[in-house]
Amino acid sequence: MPVTLFGAGGDLAGQFATLEAVTAPAASLQDIVTPLPGGGVALAGKPSGFIATRAVYGNFRLHAEWRWPGKPGNGGVLLHIDSGPRDGVWPHSQQVQTKHGSVGDLLPMAKAGFAEPLTSAPGAYPAIKAHTGADSERPAGEWNSMDVVSRDGSIEVTINGVAQNRVSASDPRAGRIGFQLEGTPYELRNVTIAPLD
Q: For 44, phi and psi rounded to 5 degrees?
A: -65, 150
Residue 12's pLDDT band (cuts 50, 70, 90): confident
112-153, pLDDT tens digit by residue?
A: 999 999 999 999 999 999 999 999 999 999 999 999 999 999
150-190, pLDDT tens digit by residue?
A: 999 999 999 999 999 999 999 999 999 999 999 999 999 99
Q: What pLDDT is attached to residue 6?
A: 85
Q: What pLDDT is attached to residue 104?
A: 99
Q: How many residues can be counted in the chain?
A: 197
User: Residue 116: CA atoms inside 13 Å, Cβ hemisphere, count?
Assistant: 21
Q: How far apart are the first and last CA of the chain?
A: 11
**Domain-wise residue ranges, the chain:** 3-195
Which letter, b or e, does each residue of 64-87 get, where b requires 16 or more Cβ atoms within 10 Å of its Cβ? bbbbbeeebbbbbbbbbbbebeee
* Closest to 107 (Cα-Cα) out of 85, 136, 84, 78: 78
Residue 17's pLDDT band (cuts 50, 70, 90): confident
On the question of pLDDT at 9 being above 60, the answer is no
pTM for the whole structure:
0.94
Distance CA 91, CA 68 (A): 24
On the question of pLDDT at 11 being above 80, the answer is no
57-83, pLDDT tens digit by residue?
A: 999 999 999 999 999 999 999 999 998
* Closest to 158 (Cα-Cα) out of 134, 189, 124, 192: 134
Distance CA 85, CA 139 (A): 36
Give the right CATH number for 3-195 from 1.10.560.10, 3.40.50.720, 3.40.640.10, 2.60.120.560. 2.60.120.560
Q: For 117, phi and psi rounded to 5 degrees?
A: -70, 150
Residue 27's pLDDT band (cuts 50, 70, 90): low
34-58, pLDDT tens digit by residue?
A: 888 888 899 998 888 898 999 999 9
Q: What pLDDT is attached to residue 37?
A: 86
Helix ranges restricted to H, the chain: 12-15, 29-32
Average pLDDT, the chain: 92
Bridge partners (DSSP) of residue 144 are 66
User: Between 28 and 18, where is the model more confident?
Assistant: 28
